[in-house]
A and B are shown apart, each in its own frame.
Chain A
Amino acid sequence: MGKISEYMTPEKLTGYWEIILPSVSNIAIGLVILIIGMWFAKRIGNIVKKNAGKAPNIDATLANFLGSIAKYALTVVVVVAAITKMGIEASSLVAMLGAATLAIGLALQGTLGNVAAGVMLMLFRPYKIGDYVAVAGEEGVVHDVNIFTTILTSLDNIKIIIANGEAWGSTIQNFTSMGVRRVDVDYGIHYDDNIDKAIKIMKDVSAAHPSVLSKPDTPWAKVVKLNDSSVDIQNRVWCSADDYWDVMFDLNKSIKEAFDKNGITIPYPHQVEIDG
Chain B
Amino acid sequence: MFLLALLVFVVGSWLSKRIGKSVENLLNKAPTANPTLSRFFANIVKFVVLFAAIMGALAVIGVNTSGISGMVLGFGVALAFILKDALADVAAGVMLMIFRPYNVGDEVEIGGIKGVVQSIEILATRMKTRNNIEIIVGNGKAWGGVIKNHNAMEQRRLDKVFGISYDADIDLAIKVLTETAAKDRRVYQDPAPWAKVVKLNDSSVDIELRVWCDYNDHRAIKMDISQPVKAAFDAAGIGIPYPHEVVIKQTVKKSKARDRIERLAALRNA
Contacts and interface: CB of A to CB of B under 8 A. Distances in A.
Interface of A: 89, 91-96, 98-100, 102-104, 106-111, 114, 136-138, 148-149, 153-163, 165-166, 187-188, 229, 246, 249-250, 252-253, 256-257, 266-276
18 contacts: A106-B84, A110-B144, A137-B146, A138-B146, A149-B99, A149-B101, A155-B157, A157-B156, A159-B149, A160-B147, A166-B145, A249-B197, A271-B245, A271-B246, A271-B247, A271-B248, A274-B255, A276-B258
A110 B92 contact: yes
Contacts of A275: 249-252
Contacts of A99: 72-73, 75-77, 80
A268 B73 CA distance: 75
B153 interface: yes
A114 B156 CA distance: 29
Contact of B95 (A89, A100, A148): A148
Contact of A111 (B72, B143, B156): B143
Contacts of B252: 274-276
A272 B248 contact: yes
Nearest to B159: A156
Contacts of B68: 92
Contacts, number: 185
Interface in B36-61: 48, 51-52, 55, 59
Interface in B58-74: 59, 65-66, 68-70, 72-73
Given A158-B148, A158-B153, A253-B197, A273 B250 contact: yes
A103 B90 CA distance: 11
Interface stretch (B9-17, B27-35, B128-136, B199-207): B199-207
Contacts of B166: 266
B69 A95 contact: yes
A199 B109 CA distance: 45
A160 B146 contact: yes
A163 B88 contact: no
A249 B90 CA distance: 48
- Chain B interface residue bracket vs A: 35 or more
A84 B242 CA distance: 85
Interface string B227-267: 00000000000000000111111111001111000000000
A102 B77 contact: yes
A188 B145 CA distance: 41
A254 B109 CA distance: 38
Nearest to A188: B200
Contacts of B159: 156
Contacts of A102: 76-77, 80
Nearest to B252: A276
B87 A266 contact: no
Nearest to B70: A95
B200 A256 contact: yes
Contact of B202 (A106, A246, A269): A269
